[in-house]
């Protein structure tokens, strides 16, 4: 199974990027996940959507070729960061590469409930016609709080409860993707 992980933070020491890299490595026996970051994706502009910049084309090709997407969203001002919304806008237009493609949402923050609101908004967007992605939620919602205390220097997640939870969720996700593809 091929998965792309889309990270909604472009900063070097992003906790969400660390979580994505950890998931890719820890669960490589379940799926092959390429982590995609968004620093080279230009602002969405309808004037150029039919001949989008190369960075956008290759981003969309990678998403199109994947069996599923795992989203790693920070929370900015109670919602998703603009870079993530911008990427979603590109994905939703011309060739709608997300339609029907299963999703799972995760988020890491320093607070306890950080990313809950951003994730709720992302679920809503996943239901929109241009994205229309079936997603695994409910008990499988991954909210990694106090994330800055949970990684070691090598980027390993050291919190056993979180690792065990991720193990359960990713197993459920593989089953969900198989049912939805
Ligand atoms: C934040 N942060 C934040 N956290 C939160 O739980 N709720 C929020 O509404 C916000 N708002 C917010 C706005 C802006 C502009 C910034 C820069 C930060 C804190 C944020 O969750 C924290 O910086 C995370 O570490 C960001 O994710 P990455 O970059 O570590 O992946």
Mean pLDDT, each 10-residue run in order, the chain (181 residues):
98 97 98 98 98 98 98 97 98 98 98 93 98 96 96 93 98 97 85
- Indicate if ipTM > 0.90: yes
| Domains identified in the chain, total number | 1
The 10s digit of each residue's pLDDT in 39-61 is 999 999 999 999 999 999 999 99
11 Cα nearest atom in ligand 1: 29
Task: Indicate the pTM of the whole model.
Answer: 0.98
C-alpha 150 – ligand 1 centre gap (Å): 17
SS3 content of the chain, % helix, strand, coil (to 5): 45, 15, 40
- CATH of residue 20's domain is 3.40.50.360
Which of 12, 114, 117, 148 to probe ligand 1 with, by most ligand atoms within 8 A of CB? 114
114 Cα nearest atom in ligand 1: 6
């Amino acid at each position: 199974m091929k998965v792309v992980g889309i990270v909604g933070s472009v900063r070097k020491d992003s906790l969400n990027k660390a979580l994505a890299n950890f998931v890719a490595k820890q669960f490589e026996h379940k799926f092959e996940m390429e982590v995609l970051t968004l620093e080279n994706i230009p602002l969405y502009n309808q004037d150029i959507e039919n001949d989008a910049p190369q960075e956008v084309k290759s981003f969309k090709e990678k998403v199109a070729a994947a069996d599923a997407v795992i989203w790693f969203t920070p929370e900015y001002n109670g919602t998703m960061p603009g870079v993530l919304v911008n990427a979603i806008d590109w994905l939703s237009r011309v060739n709608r590469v997300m339609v029907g493609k299963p999703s799972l949402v995760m988020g890491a923050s320093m607070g306890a409930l950080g990313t809950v609101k951003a994730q709720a908004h992302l679920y809503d967007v996943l239901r929109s016609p241009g994205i229309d992605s079936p997603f695994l939620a409910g008990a499988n919602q991954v909210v990694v709080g106090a994330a800055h205390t949970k990684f070691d220097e090598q980027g390993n997640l050291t919190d056993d409860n979180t690792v065990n939870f991720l193990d359960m969720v990713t197993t459920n996700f593989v089953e969900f993707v198989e049912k939805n593809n």
